[in-house]
Amino acid sequence: MFVRVKDKSTGHEFDVPDSDPRIGKAFKPLSKSHYPPSAVARRPKHHIGRTPAPVTSEPSGVAEEPQKENENA
């Protein structure tokens, strides 16, 4: 059976075999009510560290002209 864990160093969530020796050390087991043990490994959820975009005073580009629906009319 596979159990859902969270990697303590990266924050990624994924399934590992329930006999994996890293459970409780490098991997934190997740709630069994949310992720019950499974016979098939589920898709991983990768943690992406979000940082705010830098604020600039320069325009990002020239605004495009809106397209006309009927140019030939």
Mean pLDDT by 10 residues, the chain (73 residues): 96 96 96 96 90 65 62 60
pLDDT value of residue 48: 85
Q: HSE (CB half, 13 Å, CA atoms) of 11?
A: 5
pLDDT value of residue 60: 59
Give, in order, the Cα–Cα distances in Å from 59 to each of 23, 51, 54, 55, 67.
49, 21, 13, 11, 22
pLDDT value of residue 28: 97
pLDDT value of residue 73: 56
Tokens of 20: 């994996």
